Chain A
């Protein structure tokens, strides 16, 4: 009964789903001057979009340490979005150039970790592009919904367990070797 009620509520809004269904969780780092302002503009203009993105405000996209992105994935994010000023428009002259470089390198790392390209996105969105905030968020949510959950925390736990069992095996071996020697 309860589930039905929630379903009826969600009807008509395509970006929502029943309460118990998986919903992509996206962490966004938006620069204060362009993209965060654009997100505000999207709000003031009432541009409805998918509710899956949680924004963290930083002064410049250049402040986004690659570790933040890895950490977000490791803590359970299904996607990470970085928003900065267009090239040439950076409030701090050239911060976004540094963002590009870091993002390029990080992409390789993420690729090696098996994290799909669509889960990590860098977009230049100027203060006047409220519409773009909406489009990017909706598009990203659609793509990640298609990919399904990333579930990196579980993977990390699995890897940890694997390592632990390996460790056990190694110490056990060592003991065995030790007895032999002894």
Chain B
């Protein structure tokens, strides 16, 4: 570790004009900053700024020795304010405030200057970047003089947790927390938990039966005394802040009293519709169900529901209601309406999952045009023993396919649709190749761009498939048609593809085409993110606080994300993330309280004219008007520190901690201080 370079010998005593004694630290960040910004020049420049007692440059300010440097200087040179010019405050403000506090100063006597994300990483001209860094440091030195000592406010954390989404990630997070003794509300939109994993037959690369490993966890959720499970329910409103959220949940009517239904399914048997004639959502529409149904045999909870769109009684009120008669528990209730529950929780885990790419968006692959073009999820259901065909892989006309082609990257790695790699499709395509071959002994082709099999045992699984005699053709399929050239091709699907390893265009006749559809954010992910006040990345997946160091946290404290709602991932990764999110939530709960940033607004009563213009501005109704004193007053516990009332107050009597007017004015002044020389 190279020693820090001190630019200005700390000879100055208390700055005579009464300005506080400032220490400035300019970070190299290895070459991240120093590669563009002349950090030495910046530190030297800072040394000459009013009030600056010490100015140093150092390789890594966030390292232990870097922080120690600040603490030592505070003690040795009686520093009163600290400025660190390094990376984004969103990354290390906390670190340096802590270091400032360790040195014996109030942590808010600190100001951070972002010369990495805002300077060296976005500017390439060293001279301009160095000038910009100097301007920013000058502004911070000007600002920090006005900083005040502040205290963080502590609020208690409600120990209960809300988990949204009952797929494998939500299930795992809920169970982890419940096993640790925390009360969990698990809210699932569908009538059953289990998510996409419940639809799969086997899981890669171990070929474990998905139901065998999932259903015990589903039952554990249902029976756990610490878990309140609300299926067929949606969160409609979220208020509050970390530790103290109030959440409204809408429980959609099943037209069944959930507490009475035992899942005997007698009502389904008795339904006026003697045959099932409505598309079964769980089986991807490959089979039919009745208006009263249970999504799949292991559905959790084991409670039936009525589909208001197809039930005769619910649609017309003119049904003999044989279902209700058949129910000896008298659980059927056609007058049921949506119910709203209001719960208080301290933390929230979002595990809302993904949707698969809609293959009909790519008409040249023939999905929805040719009956024997399937999506991977449909084939999962075909293979599944409890699926529409009882585990027989058959075409829509009942024939067994002799040749099957799996097209990779449908709606992934594609400039026209989704640019990202969906991460799981190569592996699930290999798995489907294996399973379809096992079920039908068909000849299988995989059409791939690149085979991506990173993961424990994944590459080995690929090797296994190569040895099993599955064909691999490297190239993006151009089109799927039914255009036969020879009698042999009649009635079959023709795949046209460039085999890039051989260098020829091939036409391959197939009986069945499987589209390996990619993973997408859910269609309503934007609504959900607004509801929970979090952000989405460009593609629409929920945005993590930091891609590497805070992968399950969001920018809203107390709200965590797990599973494929954050980006495409496989089951082991989703489970790992769910565990991480549960641990993050527990870390908050077990401390028992949370410290809030002291950036709240306050009123200087003597200056308040009582004009009331601030009162209606506050979105949290934190401002009230005291009729006796004729003054406004702010409830600090409710204020979230946006500062909009501060900007609006005509008499300037509302102030905001950390963003005081004089702090911002001095920052502006500092940024613009020397007038540029004119040509």
Contacts and interface: CB of A to CB of B under 8 A. Distances in A.
Interface in B110-167: 114, 116-119, 121-129, 131-132, 135-136, 139
7 smallest beta-carbon distances between A and B, as pairs: A43-B117, A63-B643, A62-B644, A92-B642, A43-B121, A60-B642, A93-B619
B672 A76 contact: yes
B384 interface: no
Interface in A53-104: 54-60, 62-68, 71-72, 75-77, 88-89, 91-95, 98, 102
B555 A43 contact: no
Interface string B635-672: 00000111110111000000010010100110111011
Nearest to B555: A33
B536 interface: yes
B642 A44 contact: no
B220 interface: no
Say which size band chain B's interface belongs to. Answer: 35 or more
A4 interface: no
Contacts of A95: 619, 642, 644
Interface string A151-167: 00100000000000000
B88 A43 contact: yes
Interface of B: 88-90, 114, 116-119, 121-129, 131-132, 135-136, 139, 530, 533, 535-538, 543, 555-556, 599, 617, 619-620, 640-644, 646-648, 656, 659, 661, 664-665, 667-669, 671-673, 675-679
Interface residues of A, number: 64
A47 B599 CA distance: 31
Contact of B644 (A20, A63, A153): A63
Interface of A: 6, 9-10, 13, 15-16, 19-23, 25, 27, 32-34, 36-37, 39-40, 42-44, 46-51, 54-60, 62-68, 71-72, 75-77, 88-89, 91-95, 98, 102, 126-129, 134, 149, 153
B647 A62 contact: yes
B139 A92 contact: no
Contact of B679 (A21, A34, A55): A21
A127 B543 contact: yes
Interface of A is mostly: loop
19 contacts: A20-B679, A25-B672, A27-B672, A33-B555, A36-B90, A37-B535, A40-B90, A48-B122, A48-B124, A49-B123, A51-B119, A51-B123, A55-B114, A59-B642, A62-B644, A64-B647, A71-B665, A127-B555, A128-B543
B152 to A, nearest CB: 16
Given A56-B664, A72-B668, A98-B644, 10 more contacts: A43-B122, A47-B122, A50-B123, A59-B659, A60-B643, A62-B644, A75-B673, A76-B672, A77-B672, A91-B555
Given A9-B127, A44-B121, A75-B669, A91 B533 contact: yes
A57 B136 CA distance: 12
Nearest to A50: B123
A59 B675 contact: no
Contact of A27 (B619, B671, B676, B677): B671
Given A37-B555, A63-B659, A64-B647, A54 B139 contact: yes
